Structure 1
């Protein structure tokens, strides 16, 4: 029947970083892919095909597409004014301040994606005043029933890996789906040299220390990724590193001590910016985040698929759903 949903809880909950996925689809699928009326649909097609691939690989029982309702929250900018500042369109170019630079051909496709998700009955989630990272962080850390797989091309989400209540893993797609890597605590600890027993939080602390130019976060001057990892491996946590910097009798080298003490104000301000929220006021578009086995509105899905020229992608999505238990 239309809109049938899964009643089993055998599979994980799949949390998708919506913007991350459709940006990558837009740049990874040829712009020559168009609807019958000539509109570009490369991001739409790539996104739908990616969802079908993810369902086939992870066999989820629940799925949520997480949204950026505020891509650059003011509370983060107040703490670190440079946060994502390089992504803001210039007012002189005729755009309103704090408007993110998005390719002209992508914005209409986001509307198409949202329309298709709604017609199919796939749940989306957002939180006013928060980014998609915060929605992902909140849903992942508050989950108490099923294992969680977070899908994103943003390494910041590696801070979510853990096993405290349920296993939380990050399926990192920054190099594309075919080269995607599933990260748990062991993989994060091995790749970044952070302590295994707190790999997720330690990764966030590493990112804070080294900085992230893609987000406009300068980091601690003179402390790169290798130095940050070495400090975390030696002392275990950012708090312990700062305590060593304050302790003149500690074995911390003088040059590193000086750099850390000079950056204490930055570190204090940056910590809540780098850490994703675990308590954002998330709302879901549907009553349940159960993955529908069939389209909620099959006629509307068919009409949209024909209008956008993505019938084959919808067929691939349905085929992936048909293989679920």
Structure 2
């Protein structure tokens, strides 16, 4: 006789809301498919975001869902460095009203929203993982490789690839096989190589391969600086010339895991779907979400 042991540990699906909202908006905006409400308000990003989360829920079978948001463009990283994300264009006019709408729809469906003014969604995600990884198995959905530094034995990062259903999935074991460093040290690698999309430079002349090799060899940014005399003259010169920006880049690259989380894991338990919820979504102008939910759950 076979004995099946059910995994009773909660499975939390942790959503990078802003990443999915932007991804969904730009998937349809070039074709001018904004799926406007009767009053003209565009909804393409919001409806794509919700459909993505519903699809992930269907594939990954979580018991809990939490959605993390950036709360404004100005964060503590801007206080550290004026150039942080300064090169990013302003969001299109059609996207601007959808930031608040996405949070409203998330709440309407029953997903728990999290976000702290002055912090990025990454910091909220990192803090939830830090506080809840002993209480649940966690899967993070995002398009941001920076989150790989948060991997631990109970946390998986599912990076978006294509459509609503394809992911590049990392666990701690895969990361360490590919990078040969502990996940938190991914921030140290980023400190050397910099990040043009986030607007911090790292050390000019040191690319991804060299940055990774330095951390593999010396263990951290501090380890490299402590062994500076062991480096080749050209590398030593570059790092010494940019030492202060290197240290600053490390502060910018590290995810803050000390954000206060106002809520509990129990608050994130999956909502119960019924026809009244579907009708409400349709009445509010989100018929695509309603139809997608109906196809998955009814």
TM class, shorter-chain normalised? 0.7 to 0.9
Structure of greater relative contact order (alpha carbons < 8 Å, 6+ residues apart): 1
Within-5 A mapping of 1:141-220: 141-143=130-132, 144-163=134-153, 167-173=154-160, 176-191=163-178, 193-195=179-181, 198=182, 200-220=183-203
How many residue pairs get matched? 288
Gaps of 5+ in 2: 1-6
Q: Which residue of 2 aligns with 1:12?
A: 11
Q: Which residue of 1 aligns with 2:280?
A: 303
The alignment's TM-score, normalised by the length of structure 2, stands at 0.87
Within-5 A mapping of 1:125-140: 125-140=114-129
Deviation at 1:179, TM superposition (A): 3.8
Q: CA offsets, 1:20-51, max 9 Å, x none? A: 10100001135325245254322122112101
Q: CA offsets, 1:49-96, max 9 Å, x none? A: 1011110111111110101114331x31232221111126xxxxxxxx
Q: Say whether the 8 Å CA contact 2:281–2:290 is kept in structure 1.
A: no
Distance 2:74 2:172 in 1: 28
Distance 1:305 1:274 in 2: 41
Distance 2:74 2:177 in 1: 31
**Selected match of 2:215 from 207, 224, 232:** 232
Shift of the 20–36 alpha-carbon distance from structure 1 to 2, 3 Å rule, reads: closer
Shift of the 190–240 alpha-carbon distance from structure 1 to 2, 3 Å rule, reads: same
Q: Say whether the 8 Å CA contact 2:56–2:165 is kept in structure 1.
A: no
Q: Which residue of 2 aligns with 1:84?
A: 85
Q: Which residue of 2 aligns with 1:271?
A: 250
Distance 1:181 1:223 in 2: 26
* Secondary structure of the corresponding residue to residue 15 of structure 2: strand
Q: Which residue of 2 aligns with 1:97?
A: none
Deviation at 1:268, TM superposition (A): 2.1
Gaps of 5+ in 1: 1-7, 89-100
Runs of 4+ off more than 3 Å = 8-11, 174-179, 284-287, 298-301, 318-322
Q: CA offsets, 1:164-205, max 9 Å, x none? A: xxx1111111555444211122333344x342xx1x212111
The alignment's TM-score, normalised by the length of structure 1, stands at 0.80
